[in-house]
Structure 1
Amino acid sequence: MNQAVCRTALTLAALLASTAALAETQAVTPYADIRYRLELVDQDGLAEQAAASTLRVRAGVKTAEWHGLSAVVEGEAIAVLGETSYNDTVNGKTAYPVVADPSDISLNQAYLRWRPKAELELVGGRQAVNFDNQRWIGSVGWRQNDQTLDAVRVTAKPARGASLDYLYAWRVNRVFGPDSPQGIWRDTDIHGVRAAYAIKDVGTLSAYGYWLEVPSQPSSSSRTVGVRMAGELPVGGEGTFLYAVEYARQHDHGANPRRFALDYWLVEPGVKIGPASLKAGYERLEGNGTVGLQTPLATLHAFNGWADKFLSTPASGLRDFYLDAAYKVPGKGPLAGLTLRAVWHEYGSTTGGIAYGREWNALASYPLGKRFTLTAKLARYEADGFATDTTKLWFQIETKL
């Protein structure tokens, strides 16, 4: 057993022991999330294939509410099991493909919540923040290390179905960990405003504005204003029409050395019949040949293919046409709860007529009892005019206590 595994085991034992002791006071609720993952990557142009065997242990406590006050404290440990046969972005193993899961022990979340009444909530401290579908701000839950913000967030619900959010963040704790030059964005000046209204039997209309000033990464500084409408409409029987439509406009901001004004579009219709669903989508992140529209605080793995070829939008922009089919086995049989999903993407530029490539994604997820979930995922990217052919395969087991 290597030192990283020992540290993880000791950290887990300490966290569970402390949370169990606190639970006896009935003032707190302990919780834990343990995830093992094997990620395999074969990428053309690199001499080696990656094999990342990692264990993520996350445990914390939630306090009971007292005069509207409550708190969450959460620790996290990530260990590499076996050889580090991958580029974790900080170990210098550049002959291997990147798997952005470096070993780490950290304070993942620590925040205080004040809810003086049901219609108002203030949260201050290190926290995971997810807005809408996480296209602009998300916690990147797929990676072993979350993306969290040191921030203050205010949420108000002035009327039934309506909500207002304001966010100010002075630090971004990114998935790469504190040892990476890009792992922490300090002294940021990030403001976010979001207003949403749920229209009965129609969907949720939201409008937002995000102002990002990142001194350590000026090219990520931008201001974005947009509007989104998404919902589900019954169409008779077991049928449901699914839809999402979104538009945003992004400009340079703060110390960004480039000047630009770029558009974002999303159109995603779909249908759900019983346990099956099918969606078609068109997402467009504009580029002008010099710079592309960027979403650096997004949960990027959830967009534009699981091979993660477009974590940064190319200067010529990105056009993504996709089909997404899913099926969840219903009932109480041995396969009940099994989820199957397949996604196909066709990528191109928004300027210059470049065909980037195409990608297939597949997923199977199966619950083992009430606490364990098995997941297998596949991504196959076939390059034309962007990046190189890449195949990724994941096997994962996770339990939540």
Structure 2
Amino acid sequence: MRFWIVTAATLAATGPACAQDISIKPLIEGRTRYEHVDQDGIAAASDAVTIRLRGGVEATRGAWSILGEAQGNLAVVDKYYDGLHGVADRPVIGDPENAAIYRAQIRYRSQPFTVTAGRQRIALDDERFVGAAGFRNNGQTYDAVRTEIVPRKGVKLDVVYAWNVRTIWGTDGRGFRQRGVSGDNVLANLSTTTPLGTLTGFAYLVDQDEAVVQGYRLSNQNYGARLAGARPLAPGVKLNYQFSYARQSDYHRNPNRYQADYWLADGALDIGNWTLNAGYEVLGAGNGNALTSFQTPLGSVFKFQGWADKFTTNPPNGLHDLYVGGSHSWKKIGKIDLFSLQALYHRFESDRLNQHYGDVINLLATVKVKKTAISARYARYEADRFATDTTKMWLQVDWTY
């Protein structure tokens, strides 16, 4: 309700301004994907062929813009458990059929002040704490007011108040997989450019104020800092790096009382068309009880801890992720604009009790031709002390107008 009140009030206030010269930009994108999941302990594999379409329009006049966009996800082949419908006799593929408003927002943009109100897509920093879950077909959006202030070059204050988080489970979401999770979320960061890179301090107050969503135990407060930068080392050679630290504790109605730490050190070396990267990420444990370890319920989890998605919820004993990988790309091969290959290996261990959870290998091949991207992915999780062996494969075509 607050979403519609804020949007309607802002539209009413700006109506006269929007009655003059207006530029119209269509928003159209499509995705077709085949996903296969074979998981030990579940007799049948999952196979899904889905088609996701998004369409809308953005109208702009001067500093003002209004954007409306709808999305639909259709399962052409539905031999999978989508997390909501049917019997859980196959592995979960989190792309339930859905038709909904994806974005509906109004924005005022000037220098140095931007305000966006309504249902919107938000991705902060590397999306570890706040993201759009872009890999899943239904995505994740926020009913929110976002204010961005750039008082001078190289300094930015970004503050979001979100009263509802629209999840990847779509309009049929229910139980602990709600279609939307209400709460008074305050997401703020202040960044500045330094000689070493962009330094960001952040405070993310996450309020998962729904009893069915883990009994409020995903509500947390996070305070930390992040440094991301790059350094040329020689002609054609560049070092990219990022370091993060955060401290998390319980927030609002969370019945748990805990504290946990987060650490990240990541580096990537670009040598011509090659990239070699390695990193170490720690999501600390609290007292060893469920949901007292470091949790990121608003993050884009597919980007982290391997594509097998075995750690969407951090285990009670925390998680250490050591990863190494590399990629190579070729540009302008005939009609192909870009062709790239990537491989990444993760080793997972606990933060307490010295447990080896398992290992995962990620493989990715991507071809881009103009506005079309074709990709093939593979992920294999070999379990030791956590979860079960799992194999996933994807074939995907994305197109954007």
TM-score (norm 2): 0.91
- Counterpart of 2:227, as a letter, is M
Q: Distance in 1 between matches of 2:397 and 2:331?
A: 21
Q: Secondary structure at the match of 2:225?
A: strand
Q: Distance in 1 between matches of 2:319 and 2:201?
A: 23
Matched, 1:36 2:36: no
* Identical residues among aligned pairs (%): 35
Contact 1:171 1:184 in 2 (8 A): no
1:96 to 85, 90, 95: 90
Contact 2:99 2:171 in 1 (8 A): no
Q: Distance in 2 between matches of 1:143 and 1:398?
A: 13
Q: Distance in 2 between matches of 1:92 and 1:315?
A: 29
Aligned to 2:105: 111
Q: Distance in 1 between matches of 2:273 and 2:57?
A: 35
Contact 1:86 1:93 in 2 (8 A): no
Shift of 1:47: 1.3
Shift of 1:141: 0.5
Aligned to 1:185: 180
Shift of 1:333: 3.9
Shift of 1:324: 2.3
Aligned to 1:53: 49
Where in structure 2 are the equivalents of 1:250-399 lying within 5 Å?
A: 250-288=248-286, 289-290=288-289, 291-333=292-334, 336-368=337-369, 370-399=370-399
Shift of 1:138: 0.3
Q: Distance in 2 between matches of 1:334 and 1:113?
A: 38
Q: Distance in 2 between matches of 1:186 and 1:287?
A: 25
- Counterpart of 2:394, as a letter, is W
> What whole-Å deviation, never above 9, does each CA across 1:207-242 have from its counterpart, x for those lacking one?
100111222131110000010001110001111011
Q: Distance in 1 between matches of 2:317 and 2:115?
A: 40
Q: Distance in 1 between matches of 2:192 and 2:81?
A: 44
Contact 1:338 1:365 in 2 (8 A): yes
Q: Secondary structure at the match of 1:326?
A: strand
Q: Secondary structure at the match of 1:301?
A: helix
Contact 2:37 2:45 in 1 (8 A): yes
Q: Secondary structure at the match of 1:338?
A: strand
Shift of 1:26: 6.3
Contact 1:329 1:335 in 2 (8 A): no
Q: Distance in 1 between matches of 2:224 and 2:238?
A: 26
Aligned to 2:245: 247
Matched, 1:194 2:189: yes
Matched, 1:70 2:65: yes
Q: Distance in 1 between matches of 2:106 and 2:243?
A: 35
Shift of 1:332: 4.4
> What whole-Å deviation, never above 9, does each CA across 1:338-370 have from its counterpart, x for those lacking one?
0111000000100011100000000001013x1
- Counterpart of 1:371, as a letter, is K
Aligned to 1:176: 169
Contact 1:78 1:104 in 2 (8 A): yes
Aligned to 2:11: none
Matched, 1:124 2:117: yes
Give the length in aligned residue pairs.
372
- Give the superposed CA RMSD: 1.3
Matched, 1:135 2:131: no
- Counterpart of 2:96, as a letter, is P
Contact 1:185 1:214 in 2 (8 A): no
Shift of 1:186: 4.0
2:233 to 219, 232, 235: 235
Shift of 1:326: 1.3
> What whole-Å deviation, never above 9, does each CA across 1:165-199 have from its counterpart, x for those lacking one?
11000001000112121233343110011001123
Q: 5+ unaligned residues in a row in structure 2: which ranges?
A: 1-20
> What whole-Å deviation, never above 9, does each CA across 1:1-36 have from its counterpart, x for those lacking one?
xxxxxxxxxxxxxxxxxxxxxxxx963110211000
- Counterpart of 2:154, as a letter, is G
Contact 2:364 2:378 in 1 (8 A): yes
Shift of 1:87: 0.7
Shift of 1:56: 0.1
